[in-house]
DNA sequence: CCGATTTGACCAAC
DNA sequence: GTTGGTCAAATCGG
């Protein structure tokens, strides 16, 4: 708190930022050099790959920092200073004003919001609806162009009491073998999950988790049993602690100590993609038709910052195999 | 009665 | 002008 004035935050972090930026530039230069034909394909490919990873890491780190700066600064700014935080900070428009609720005159800016094209999202496609353990409240439904089914909008029930900004959209994408696309936005910062880890709905087989390979993002590291009030579901605890170490103080700080490169990749993606959130218990199961998606829920995760200069985008589609995921998991700048 | 859902309106981004 | 995301009044339901 003391040193946390916005100015200080920017001051300290700018140094880190600049260092990272320099590092990225250096790596980029190295890459340019290596691009010159060297003869040995394999080694140059390997080196190039390595450099690509370095660049990806730098880019993400930069993005993270920017994101955090933005976040922290906004957190410290009273919600009125022009920061039009659309939803999370709750308050609606100017209700403080007498807001002479003249319906037509002022309208209270109904429907006002910022389209979040720059916010992180995580999309899952599953054969059935999933229950991620969080309490959601539907706040809208909309028919989408060229879509057979309407899209449903949900926000965290604790949006107002705890300021939890998490929202999700659920849309049925297929009819026959029913498929649902669920897109999560924002992260849960609320702590009370109402439900136990129940995770998936339809299905049975509790022990089936092995099948549910899915893509437990980094779950490899999850303290497998975070025995605490938090259900064990692998939400993104990762970042949650990272960014808002507010909640769940007891959780071990997961994987920071571990250093598998792949783990780090996921961690990075998680960090940037979700501060916490918990969308993913994923387990599908579909006991009956083993088909599927179970092992292949499809995920796509995107993240970007508000900073134009350092935005990045991640997309990952997991189709059954983690390795596939890793492969797909290339940074796209 | 109170919280959740429905649904039309509103508005920013395309 | 169109589309998608959100709001909030009306309605529903426990």
Kindly report, residue by residue over A48-75, the tens digit of the pLDDT. 565 555 555 555 555 545 444 444 444 4
Per-position b or e across A208-220, b if 16+ CB within 10 A of its CB: beebbbbbbbbbe
Torsion of CA A219, A329, A292, A177, to 10 degrees: 120
Whose structure tokens read 């849309």? Answer: A171
Query: Residue A258 CA to nucleotide B4 C1', Å?
Result: 43
Name the nucleotide nearest A142; use CA and C1'. Answer: C4
Query: Residue A118 CA to nucleotide B8 C1', Å?
Result: 28
pLDDT in tens, A168-180: 889 888 777 788 8
Based on the number of CB atoms within 10 Å of its own CB, is A1 exposed (0-12), middle (13-18) or buried (19 or more)? exposed
Query: Residue A254 CA to nucleotide B5 C1', Å?
Result: 38
Chain C bases near protein Cβ (<7 Å):
2-9
Query: Residue A276 CA to nucleotide B4 C1', Å?
Result: 26
Name the nucleotide nearest A113; use CA and C1'. Answer: C6
CA distances A264 to A54, A238, A260, A280, Å, are 12, 11, 6, 18
Based on the number of CB atoms within 10 Å of its own CB, is A175 exposed (0-12), middle (13-18) or buried (19 or more)? exposed
Query: Residue A19 CA to nucleotide B7 C1', Å?
Result: 52
Query: Residue A140 CA to nucleotide C10 C1', Å?
Result: 14
Name the nucleotide nearest A118; use CA and C1'. Answer: B13
Residues contacting strand B at CB < 7 A? Answer: A 104, 107, 109-115, 117, 135-142, 157
pLDDT in tens, chain A (333 residues): 544 344 444 444 555 566 666 666 666 666 666 665 555 555 555 555 655 555 555 555 555 454 444 444 444 444 333 333 333 333 333 333 333 333 333 334 455 555 555 566 788 888 877 777 788 999 999 888 888 888 999 988 888 777 788 888 898 887 777 888 888 888 777 766 554 444 444 333 333 333 333 333 333 333 333 333 333 333 333 333 333 333 333 333 333 333 333 333 333 333 333 444 344 443 333 333 323 333 345 555 555 444 433 433 343 333 333 333 333 333 333
Question: Do β-strands A298-302 and A136-142 pair in parallel, antiparallel, or remain unpaired?
Answer: unpaired
């Amino acid at each position: 708190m003391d040193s946390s004035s916005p100015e200080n935050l920017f001051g300290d972090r700018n140094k880190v930022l600049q260092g990272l930026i320099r590092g990225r530039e250096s790596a980029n230069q190295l890459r340019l050099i290596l691009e010159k034909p060297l003869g040995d394909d394999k080694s140059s490919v390997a080196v190039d790959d390595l450099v690509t990873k370095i660049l990806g890491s730098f880019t993400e780190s930069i993005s993270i920092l920017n994101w955090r700066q933005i976040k922290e600064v906004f957190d410290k700014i009273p919600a009125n200073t022009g920061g039009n935080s659309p939803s999370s900070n709750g308050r609606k428009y100017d209700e403080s004003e007498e807001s002479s609720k003249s319906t037509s005159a002022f309208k209270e800016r109904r429907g006002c919001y910022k389209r979040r094209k720059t916010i992180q999202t995580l999309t899952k496609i599953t054969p059935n609806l999933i229950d991620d353990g969080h309490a959601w409240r539907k706040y809208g439904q909309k028919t989408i162009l060229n879509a057979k089914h309407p899209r449903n909008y949900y926000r965290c029930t604790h949006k107002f009491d705890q300021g939890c900004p998490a929202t999700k959209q659920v849309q049925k994408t297929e009819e026959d073998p029913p498929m649902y696309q669920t897109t999560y936005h924002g992260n849960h910062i609320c702590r009370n999950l109402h439900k136990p880890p129940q995770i998936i709905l339809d299905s049975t087989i509790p022990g089936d988790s092995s099948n549910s390979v899915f893509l437990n993002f980094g779950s490899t590291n999850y303290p497998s049993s975070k025995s605490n009030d938090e259900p064990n579901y692998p939400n993104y605890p990762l970042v949650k602690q990272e960014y808002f170490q507010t909640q769940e103080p007891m959780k071990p700080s997961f994987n920071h100590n571990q250093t598998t490169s792949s783990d780090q990749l996921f961690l990075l993606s998680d960090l940037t993609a979700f501060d916490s959130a918990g969308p993913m218990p994923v387990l599908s199961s579909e006991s009956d038709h083993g088909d599927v998606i179970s092992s292949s829920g499809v995920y796509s995760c995107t993240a970007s910052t508000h900073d134009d200069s350092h935005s990045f985008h991640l997309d990952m589609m997991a189709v059954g195999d983690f390795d596939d995921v890793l492969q797909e998991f290339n940074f796209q700048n």
